[in-house]
Chain A
Amino acid sequence: MRRIVQDPVLATALILVVLFIFLAIILPLIYTIRESASAEGLALFQRYLTESVYQRIILNTLAMGVMVATLGTLLGFIFAYVQVKVKAPFKRLLHFIALVPIISPPFALASALILLFGRNGMILRGIFGTRCFWGEGRSCNDIYGLDGLTIVLSLSLFTVAYLNLKGMMQALDPALEEAATDMGANKWHIFRTVTVPMLIPGIAGSFLLLFVEAIADLGNPLILGGDYEVLATRIYVSIIGLYDTKAAAVLSVILLLPSLTVYLVQRYWISRTSVISITGKPAGTPQQITHPFVRWSLVAIVLAVCFLIVLIYGTIFVGAFVRVIGVNNDFTLQNFDFVINGIGSEAMTDTTTLSAFATPIAGLLGMLIAFLVIRKTFPGRAALDFATMLGIAVPGTIFGIGYILAFNNPIELTLPGIGNITLLPKLTGGRAFLGGALAIVVVYIVRSVPAALRSGTALLSQIDPAIEDASISLGADNAYTFRKITLPLIRPAFLSGLIYAFARSMTTISAIVFLTTPQTKIMTAQILNEVENGRFGNAFAYCVILIGIVLVAIAILYLTVGSSSGAERTLEGGA
C-alpha cells in the first residue's frame, strides 16, 4: 500500500479507476435494488413470486437458461473434441465457421431462422410444401417459443464454450492419456475416466457462462419468444410499454439473483477445482480418435451445425440484397439505400462513433485494472476485480434500468452560501447530456471491460514479474514501466480486448435499449424496429453493414495494435 501512495501517478490512476467502477457499475445497481426495496416494490415481489403468470415467466427464464447452457456446452464440447482429438476434414474451415457467431447482430439469427424454418419459412414451406413437420393446427411448424430460442441462442453462444474447452483440451498433458493406455484402458474408458473428469471445470464453467448469457438475452426472446415470455422481455415491456420502473426494478432483482449466484459459484468454486496445470508446451501430441463410427458421428454433427450457420448467415446476406426474401427474390439495393442514405445513416455513424470512443477506453481500462490487480497490493484488490466483472455478470437490461434510475437527474452538491454544484449532469432520458451519448459510451465500456480484464490478467500472470522489477530497478517509475514494458508485453490481450469491445458495443442491445434518445440513434435498436415491423430486408441490410464495420475495425486493429515487434512471438515461444 505504501508503495502505491508513494507514487502519485499510480495512486491517481487507482482512484480514478475505483471512482469509475463505482459510478458506472455499483451505483446503478444500488439504485435498482433501492427502487425494488421500496414498500411498493416489496408488495410487487410478493405478487410476482406467488402469481402463476409470473411464476411461469421465472420458470420460462430458468428453463431457457438450462436448455441453452446444455445444448451450447454440448456443441462446444463436440466442436472442441473434433478439433483436438478427431481426424476430420477441413478442420481450419470448420474452426472459422464456428467463430462466425461471435459477430452476431441481435435479431439477425432469429430473423433468419424464422424466414428459413418458420410457418411460412423457405425450407419447410418453400421446399417441402406446407406439410406439417411438427405440431398441428396453429402450432404447426411453430419455430416460436422455447425450441426456437434454444436453437438460436445455442448457435450464437456455443462459440464461447468451444474456445474455452478447446484451450483446455489442448493444455491437457497427453502423458495422462498415454499413461492410461499403458495401463490397458481403451479409448472410451479413457474418455470417461480421464478426459471428461479433467475437463469438468471447463464444462461447468462454460455451462454457467452460457446460462447467464441466455437468461440475460433480450433480443431473441423479443422476436422469437411468441407466447413464451421471459424476465428480460417482461422488464423491457415494463419500461417501454408502461414506464413502470418499480416493476422493472423488482423483475431485475429477480433476474439478478440467478445471474449473481452463478457468477459467484463460477468465481469461487470452479476456479478452485481446476485440475489442469498449464506447464508450457504439451509433451506429446494428443492421440487421435480413429474409430469410424464415433469419428463420423461427431464429424457429421459438426458439419450439420456449420451448414446451419452458413445457411443462416447466407440468408442474412442474400436477404439484404433482395426485395422480400422467399417471396420476391428480385435483386435490389433499396434496403442499403434505406440504411445508408435514409434514417439508418445517422444510426450507423452514431453507433460506430460511440463504439470507437468506448473501445480504446475499455481496452486500456481492462489492461490497467489487470496490472493493478495482478501486480500491485492494495486493500480491496479482489473487490475491484469482482466489481469490474459485474459489468458482464449482471444482465444488460438491469444496467439499462439502473442508468435510468441513477442518472435521470443531475447529481448535485448543495453548498451553503454558494449554491448548487453539478457533479454529474443528467445522462439519460430527454435533454440528457450529449443526447444520452455519454451514458451509452459508459455502458459500452462497462460491458466490454470484463473481457479485456480477463484476458489481461490471464496473460499478465504468465509474465515474470521480474521483467517489470528490472525496469523499476533501472530507474523507471510505474507509469513508464506500464507504458514501455507491461503494455507491449500484454499486447495480444490488449488486442483481443479491443476487438471484443468493438464487436460487443456494436451488437449490444439489452443494455442500451432504454438509453437511446431521439438525438442518439443506435443501429441495434433500429434493427429491432425494422424486425418488429416485418421489414426484414432493411434489418438484414443493417446487419450486413454492421458486420462489415466490425470486420473493417478488426482489420484496422490488427494492422495498428497487432503489428508485432516480436513480443507476441517471444511470449508464444515461451522464452
Chain B
Amino acid sequence: MSNQHSLVLENISKAFTQRGGTLARVNAVDNVSLAIDKGEFITLLGPSGCGKTTTLRLIAGFETPTTGRLLLEGKDITQQPPNKRDMAMVFQSYALFPHMSVFENIAYGLHIRKLPRTVIQQKVEGVLDLIGLQGLGNRRPNQLSGGQQQRVALARCLVMEPRVLLFDEPLSNLDAKLRVQMRSEIHSLHKRLNITSVYVTHDQVEAMAMSDRIVVMNSGHIEQIGRPKDIYRRPISRFVAGFIGRANFIDTMAEAVNDDLVTVLLLGKTLTVTMMPTAKVGDKLTAVLRPEGLELRADATLKQVVISQAMYLGSEVEYIVSTGEETLIVIDNDPRASHIFNEGETVGIDFAAETVHLLSN
C-alpha cells in the first residue's frame, strides 16, 4: 500500500510558542494527514497563515513536527535532517547564491555529492538545456531577469533528481504575464519528468492549472482534498467555495428530501439537487452558485433583478445585480453572442439546476 505512495504525512502537528507575553502554544499545523502518490503534483492552497508553508517546511525538514510521522517511500524520515532528505526546494525569493555563477549554483548540490567534474559538467549543461538557459552558465544571478532566476532555482533542484520537489510560492515574485508563462512551463516539465511535487500557493488559479490534486488548508487543518474540478464544483464548506473562485451564497431550506436528492426553492425556482451528505426536511442550507452559472435574460417569467453595476471586461461582462434580498455577481462569458445590459435595467435571472451546489449550514 505505502509502496504506491511517495510521501505520507501521518497526523502531523506543529505547535509554536507564541512570541511575547503569554507562553500559549499555537498549532500552526493541526493534525494533518495526507498521502501523496508517486509522480503526483499536489498543491497546498490557502490564505496566508493557514499553515501551508509550515507544512511544506515540515516535509523539507526545516521544522520538526511536534507530533506525527513523515514517511518517504515507506521509510520514516521524521527525524532525518533536511540535508539528508532526498528532496529539493524552490523558494519564493529564488534564494540563488549571489556570489556564484549560474553554473556554480546548479552544480552546488552535485559537488556535495562529490560527483566527478565531467559528470557535473554534463548534468548541468543538460538541465540548462531543459530549462532553456543554454549558454548562460557564466552569468551571475543578478544579471538575469526574475523569470530566468527562478528557472535557475528550478534547475538547481531538477539536477539533483530528487524524489520529491518542493515549491514555496515560486511564482509570487514574478509579474502577472511571466507567472502565467512559468506556470505552464512547470506544468509541462512535470508532465515530462514525473517527479512527485508539493506546491504551495495562495493563488487558486495557479493551483487549478497545475495540480493533480489540491489540498485546501484553513487555520492549520486540511479543509478539503480533491481534484481541481471536484473542489470547484463540490466545495465541502463555505470557506472552500469562497476561496476557490468566486461564489454567490444564497440562504435556502430543504423543502423535501428523497435519499440524497434535496428539493429547495431558489430565486423563484423549485429544483432538486444531489447533496452529499444529505439533509433533513426543514434544514437551513446554503446554495453555492458560481457567477458564470447565472444568466440574465429579458424574460418576465423569471425572477426579476435590478442591475446595479455592469463592467465590460472584453472576454466577459461582469454584473452586480440585486434581487431585493441578495446581491449577486453574474458573469456573462460570451458577451459577443448576448445582449449587454445597462446599469439600472430590470431583467430576469436564470440558472441550470446542475450548477447549484448545496451546503448544510
Residues of A within 8 A of B (CB): 2-3, 6-7, 464, 466-467, 469-477, 480, 484-485, 488-489, 565-567, 569-571, 573, 575
Binary per-residue interface labels of chain B (55-98) against chain A in the complex, 1 for a CB within 8 Å, 0 otherwise: 00000101010000000000000010111100111011101111
Say yes or no: B112 contacts A575, CB within 8 Å.
Answer: no
Tell me the bound Cα distance from A531 to B89 in angstroms: 64
State which of B82, B97, B113, B140 has its C-beta within 8 Å of the C-beta of A472: B82
Tell me the bound Cα distance from A6 to B64 in angstroms: 12
Residues in chain B near residue A569, CB distance under 8 A: 142
Residues in chain B near residue A477, CB distance under 8 A: 81, 83
Binary per-residue interface labels of chain B (5-29) against chain A in the complex, 1 for a CB within 8 Å, 0 otherwise: 0000000000000000000000000
Say yes or no: B141 contacts A570, CB within 8 Å.
Answer: yes
Tell me the bound Cα distance from A484 to B99 in angstroms: 10
List 4 A-B pairs, minimum CB-CB distance, nearest first. A474-B109, A567-B99, A570-B98, A466-B95
Tell me the bound Cα distance from A575 to B168 in angstroms: 19
State which of B64, B82, B142, B157 has its C-beta within 8 Å of the C-beta of A575: B142
Tell me the bound Cα distance from A3 to B82 in angstroms: 10
Query: B156 in the interface, Cβ–Cβ < 8 Å?
Result: yes
Query: B160 in the interface, Cβ–Cβ < 8 Å?
Result: yes
Looking at chain B, what size class is its interface with the partner chain? 20 to 34
Query: Which of A466, A488, A489 has the most chain B CB within a 10 Å cutoff?
Result: A466
Whole-angstrom distance from the CB of A80 to the nearest CB of chain B?
A: 30
Say yes or no: A489 contacts B83, CB within 8 Å.
Answer: no
Say yes or no: B81 contacts A489, CB within 8 Å.
Answer: no
Say yes or no: B99 contacts A570, CB within 8 Å.
Answer: yes
Residues in chain A near residue B166, CB distance under 8 A: 473
Known pairs A6-B81, A474-B112, A475-B160; A469 contacts B62 (CB<8 A): yes
State which of B95, B99, B109 has its C-beta within 8 Å of the C-beta of A475: B109
Residues of B within 8 A of A (CB): 60, 62, 64, 79, 81-84, 87-89, 91-93, 95-99, 108-109, 112-113, 140-142, 153, 156-157, 160, 166, 168
Query: Which of B83, B109, B157 has the most chain A CB within a 10 Å cutoff?
Result: B83
State which of B83, B112, B142 has its C-beta within 8 Å of the C-beta of A570: B142
Tell me the bound Cα distance from A467 to B64 in angstroms: 20
Say yes or no: B97 contacts A485, CB within 8 Å.
Answer: yes
State which of A2, A469, A484, A485 has its C-beta within 8 Å of the C-beta of B64: A2
Query: Which of B89, B99, B108, B168 has the most chain A CB within a 10 Å cutoff?
Result: B99
Tell me the bound Cα distance from A2 to B64 in angstroms: 8
CB-defined A-B contacts under 8 Å, sample of 19: A466-B92, A467-B97, A469-B82, A469-B95, A470-B153, A473-B82, A473-B87, A473-B157, A474-B108, A474-B156, A474-B160, A475-B113, A476-B108, A477-B81, A489-B99, A570-B140, A571-B98, A575-B98, A575-B142
Residues in chain B near residue A7, CB distance under 8 A: 81
Tell me the bound Cα distance from A474 to B91 in angstroms: 12
Residues in chain B near residue A464, CB distance under 8 A: 93, 95
Say yes or no: B83 contacts A466, CB within 8 Å.
Answer: no
Residues in chain A near residue B160, CB distance under 8 A: 474-475
- Contacts A466-B95, A489-B99 known; list 16 others, CB within 8 Å: A3-B81, A7-B81, A469-B62, A470-B89, A470-B153, A473-B87, A473-B88, A474-B156, A474-B160, A475-B83, A475-B160, A476-B108, A484-B108, A488-B99, A569-B142, A575-B141
Say yes or no: A565 contacts B83, CB within 8 Å.
Answer: no
Query: Which of B64, B97, B112, B140 has the most chain A CB within a 10 Å cutoff?
Result: B97
Tell me the bound Cα distance from A401 to B84 in angstroms: 49
Known pairs A488-B99, A566-B98, A566-B140; A473 contacts B64 (CB<8 A): no
Residues in chain B near residue A467, CB distance under 8 A: 95-98
Tell me the bound Cα distance from A480 to B109 in angstroms: 11
Whole-angstrom distance from the CB of A477 to the nearest CB of chain B?
A: 5
Residues in chain B near residue A3, CB distance under 8 A: 64, 81
Tell me the bound Cα distance from A514 to B335 in angstroms: 90
Whole-angstrom distance from the CB of B95 to the nearest CB of chain A?
A: 4
